[in-house]
């Protein structure tokens, strides 16, 4: 299925309550094919695990944040590689938006799951960096989901806090920033800042050594690229964006 990932940015929000129904076979197949395509293109290891409730089951594993999770995507990597973390964010978010376009709920999960019972296939030196919960959800959020959303979004940043520029910004940059504002980030800390100077755009975070922050950088870069109407990023902290 061909999808316009930019269009689904507005529809995506982290979902934490999933229905117990299986993902439709044709939908699961489309998602599986897309994950394979992205993994091949990026040389990253992502796997869709269907019908395995063990990694989120029980209050202890998810701190009561999630319910009904039975499918997830594992993001696997080797420790201490900032660029790889950023790439997992960039490409993982493509998968998140694709799943959203298929009508599925998603949530990036860095902490509240049981890493040890994860069904990822690991080679020597590899570990599960994080997972993306995925599955069928009700169209409307449950009261508890809304409560968690409101709590985490209380300190959401204004657009102007997310970029630095000495001059007025062009529309394409603003549209890119609107998409960055809607990007998921761990505990919604929105750590990524962009700079605009004479048509040159860069993105940076203060704490690139923090794995979660490096993931957030990749996610924000993808959102900017989609919002700005296309272009190419250099990976790395302070990487440059070249507009299409």
Ligand X SMILES: Cc1cc2nc3c(=O)[nH]c(=O)nc-3n(C[C@H](O)[C@H](O)[C@H](O)COP(=O)(O)O)c2cc1C
Q: Which residues bind ligand X (CB under 6 A)?
A: 13-14, 16, 65, 107-112, 130, 149, 152, 184-188, 212, 215-216, 219
**Quick one: angle between helices 211-227 and 171-181, nearest 10?**
140
Toward ligand X, which CB reaches closer, 19 or 165?
A: 19
Shortest distance (Å) from residue 29 CB to ligand X: 26
List all residues 6 or more positions away from 61 whose beta carbon is below 8 Å from its beta carbon: 55, 112, 113, 114
Toward ligand X, which CB reaches closer, 204 or 243?
A: 204
Toward ligand X, which CB reaches closer, 38 or 165?
A: 38
List all residues 6 or more positions away from 1 whose beta carbon is below 8 Å from its beta carbon: 30, 101, 102
Q: Which residue has the tokens 């990749």?
A: 218
Nearest residue to ligand X, by Cβ distance, number only: 184
Toward ligand X, which CB reaches closer, 108 or 233?
A: 108
CA distances from 136 to 90, 131, 211 (A): 23, 16, 29
Shortest distance (Å) from residue 108 CB to ligand X: 3
> What is the spatial distance between Cα 228 and Cα 242, in angstroms, rounded to a whole number?
11
Shortest distance (Å) from residue 6 CB to ligand X: 16
Shortest distance (Å) from residue 149 CB to ligand X: 6
Shortest distance (Å) from residue 191 CB to ligand X: 10
On whether the CB atoms of residues 8 and 97 are closer than 8 A, the answer is yes
Toward ligand X, which CB reaches closer, 179 or 196?
A: 179
């Amino acid at each position: 299925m061909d999808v316009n990932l930019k269009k689904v940015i507005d529809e995506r929000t982290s979902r934490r309550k999933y229905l117990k129904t299986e993902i439709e076979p044709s939908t699961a197949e489309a998602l599986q094919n897309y994950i394979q395509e992205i993994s091949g293109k990026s040389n990253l290891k992502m796997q869709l695990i269907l019908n395995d409730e063990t990694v989120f089951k029980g209050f202890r594993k998810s701190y009561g944040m999630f319910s009904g999770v039975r499918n997830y995507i594992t993001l696997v990597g080797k420790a201490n590689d900032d660029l790889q973390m950023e790439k997992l964010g960039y490409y993982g978010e493509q998968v998140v938006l694709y799943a959203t376009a298929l009508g599925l709920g998603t949530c990036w999960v860095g902490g509240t799951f049981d890493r040890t019972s994860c069904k990822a296939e690991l080679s020597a030196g590899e570990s599960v960096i994080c997972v993306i919960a995925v599955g069928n959800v009700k169209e409307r959020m449950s009261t508890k989901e809304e409560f968690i959303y409101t709590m985490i979004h209380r300190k959401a940043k204004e657009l102007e806090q997310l970029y630095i520029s000495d001059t007025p910004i062009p529309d394409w940059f603003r549209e890119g920033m609107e998409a960055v504002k809607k990007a998921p980030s761990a505990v919604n800390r929105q750590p990524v800042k962009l700079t605009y100077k004479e048509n040159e755009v860069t993105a940076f975070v203060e704490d690139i050594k923090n794995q979660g922050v490096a993931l957030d950088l990749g996610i924000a870069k993808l959102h900017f690229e989609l919002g700005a109407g296309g272009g190419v990023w250099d990976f790395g902290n302070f990487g440059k964006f070249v507009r299409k």
